[in-house]
Structure 1
Amino acid sequence: MITAYTLNGKSLEIQPLSLTDKLPANTLWLDILKPDEQEQSWMKQLFVEEVPELDELDDIEASARFYRDKDGLHIHSLFPQRLGKEIDGINVLFTLRNNMLISFREDDLGLMRLLRHYMRQDRLEVEDAPDLLLEIFQLKIEYISDLIEDGYKTLEETAKEVLQVEDLRQTMSNLMHQEDGNGHVRLALYDTRRALRFMRRTLRKQASDEQRKWIDELLYDIESLLPHTQFLFDKINFQLEAAMGFTSLEQSKVIKIFSVAAVVFLPPTLIASIYGMNFNFMPELALKYGYPLSLVLMLLSACGTYYFFKRKGWL
């Protein structure tokens, strides 16, 4: 799907494009989502060099994520997106050329839908393509900040669930989802910081003073959010260790019960074993009350052992 966003004053108008349409002259942003083969061919008119492929979006090398060529400035940026309890990372390729921004992505993003919502309400004011890219990064950082706040709320709930031993499996599952999501958030922050530093270094002559100040403010926001992600990692690890500790404690209690039961029944077992031996001469076997006496002796030995453990505080 190809969508053009044309500049009208300081606001943007949304215009879906078909393969037969020409690119409007005042296009500020061209968004390309999941292009098929025909749309890939249509994209050749936009690029002087090679048309980007979907499998190139996940490259992690800095030389493949941030570079400049004849087509302009290329920035691969990682966007976190919540899908139920999980947070996934989606890569988007931005190409900044002259006064047009081209975005190329494989999956839909809630952040892009939010951006279009702002456009329809005329809440988005931009003057050129770098302004638009910085606006996208600002929304991305705000979204990451919301994810971090959600992480704090989730950990407050799991902290109470850790004490409920019967539900530890679900609690540990939630903590693992939270740890994975926090990893995507932290990676997105690092990636955005690298992208902004690349923009500041590459556009130091073309960018206006306001744009350079904007980039510095976004970098400051990222630096202020990174300690929160580290704190969340520490808190998640603490709760995981606490949950595993409670599990080990409950297992120890079960093992303790079996151990005490084995020790309590050891004296009666010893008495029964003695009188179960097949010797010809055992005087107690001839006693009239030998059988009930042995039962009483086994009962007293078991009770005495239990009382001894109880007095020592081992039960």
Structure 2
Amino acid sequence: MITAYLFKDKTFEIQPLTPADSLPEHTLWLDIHKPDEQEQQWMSRLFEEEAPELDELDDIEASARFYRDKDGLHIHSLFPQRLGKHIDGINVLFTLRNELLISFREDDLGLMRLLRHYMRQERLEVEDAADLLLEIFQLKVEYISDLIEDGYKTLEGTAKEVLQVDDLHKTMSDLMMQEDGNGHIRLALYDTRRALRFLRRSLRQSASDEQRKWIDEMLYDIESLLPHTQFLFDKINFQLEAAMGFTSLEQSKVIKIFSVAAVVFLPPTLIASIYGMNFEILPELGFDYGYPMSLVLMLMSACGTYFFFKRKGWL
């Protein structure tokens, strides 16, 4: 799907395009979402060099994620997105050239929908394509901040679940999901910091003072958010260790019961084993009350062992 965002008289107009259309005049932003073969061919006409492919979005090398060529500046940026309780990372390729911003992505992104909402309400104050790209990164940093805040609230709930020991399996599953999501958040922060530093170097001659200040403020925000992600990692690990400790404690209680039961029944088992021997000479075999006596002896030995454990505080 190809969508053109026309910017004229300080307002945006959203216009879907087909492969039969040409690039409209006053297009400031061209968003390409999961193009088919025809749309891919249409997009290739926009680039002097090789047009990007969907399988290139997940490249992790710095040389493949941030570079400049005849088509302009190319930035691969990782965006975290919450899907229910799970947080995933979505890569978007931005190409910035003169007065046109091109975004290329494979998956739907809630941040893009929010940006369109702001456009319809005329809440974006941009002058050119660079401003629009910085606005996207600003929304990204704010969204990451909200995800970190949600992480704190989630961990407050899991802390109570760990103490209650009702469903440790669910609690540990939630903690593992939180740890994975926090990893995506931290990776997105590092990726955004690299992208902004690349932008600052690349636009050092053409960027305005306001844009440079904007980039510096976002970099400062990222530096202030990174310690929070480390704190979340520490808190998640602490709760995981606490949950595993409670699990081990519950298992120890069960093992303790079996151990005590085995020791309590050990003396009666010994007595029964002695009188179960097949020797001809066993003095007690001739007693009239030998059988009741052995039962009483076994019962007394079991009770004696139990009360001994109880007195020691082992039960």
Deviation at 1:44, TM superposition (A): 2.1
Q: TM-score, normalised by structure 1?
A: 0.99
Q: Using the alignment, how far apart are the partners of 1:29 and 1:166 within structure 2? A: 52
Q: How does 1:54-69 map to 2 (within 5 A)?
A: 54-69=54-69
SS at match of 2:294: helix
SS at match of 1:162: helix
Equivalent residue for 2:136? 136
Deviation at 1:164, TM superposition (A): 3.0
Q: Using the alignment, how far apart are the partners of 2:11 and 2:266 within structure 1? A: 86
SS at match of 1:47: coil
Q: How many aligned positions are there?
A: 315
Matched, 1:283 2:303: no
Matched, 1:22 2:18: no
SS at match of 2:167: helix
Matched, 1:165 2:170: no
Equivalent residue for 1:115? 115
Superposed CA offset, 1:194-233 (max 9, x none) = 0000000110000000000000000000001000100001
Q: What amino acid sits opposite 1:250 in the alignment?
A: E
Superposed CA offset, 1:255-277 (max 9, x none) = 01000000000001111111111
Superposed CA offset, 1:159-202 (max 9, x none) = 11112334011111111110000000000000000000000011
Deviation at 1:84, TM superposition (A): 1.1
Q: What amino acid sits opposite 1:214 in the alignment?
A: W
Q: Using the alignment, how far apart are the partners of 1:314 and 1:81 within structure 2? A: 52
Superposed CA offset, 1:93-151 (max 9, x none) = 00000011000000110000000001111111210011000000000011111111111
Deviation at 1:24, TM superposition (A): 1.4
SS at match of 1:260: helix
Q: Which runs of 5+ in 1 are unaligned?
A: none
Q: What amino acid sits opposite 2:35 in the alignment?
A: P
Deviates more, 1:129-138 or 1:278-287: 278-287
Q: What amino acid sits opposite 1:269 in the alignment?
A: T
Q: How does 1:29-40 map to 2 (within 5 A)?
A: 29-40=29-40
Matched, 1:217 2:255: no
Q: Using the alignment, how far apart are the partners of 2:296 and 2:57 within structure 1? A: 81
SS at match of 1:277: coil
Matched, 1:240 2:240: yes
Equivalent residue for 1:262? 262
CA RMSD of aligned residues (A): 0.8
Superposed CA offset, 1:22-46 (max 9, x none) = 2112111000000111011111221
Q: Using the alignment, how far apart are the partners of 1:279 and 1:137 within structure 2? A: 91
Deviates more, 1:254-263 or 1:164-173: 164-173
Residues 78 and 89 in structure 1, CA contact (< 8 A), matched pair in contact too: yes
Deviation at 1:12, TM superposition (A): 1.7
Q: How does 1:63-142 map to 2 (within 5 A)?
A: 63-142=63-142
Equivalent residue for 1:253? 253
Residues 11 and 125 in structure 1, CA contact (< 8 A), matched pair in contact too: no
SS at match of 1:204: coil
Deviation at 1:281, TM superposition (A): 1.4
Q: How does 1:169-184 map to 2 (within 5 A)?
A: 169-184=169-184
Q: Which runs of 5+ in 2 are unaligned?
A: none
Superposed CA offset, 1:36-65 (max 9, x none) = 110111112210000100000000000000
Q: What amino acid sits opposite 1:210 in the alignment?
A: E
Q: What amino acid sits opposite 1:235 in the alignment?
A: K
Q: Using the alignment, how far apart are the partners of 1:272 and 1:22 within structure 2? A: 97
Equivalent residue for 2:153? 153
Equivalent residue for 1:53? 53
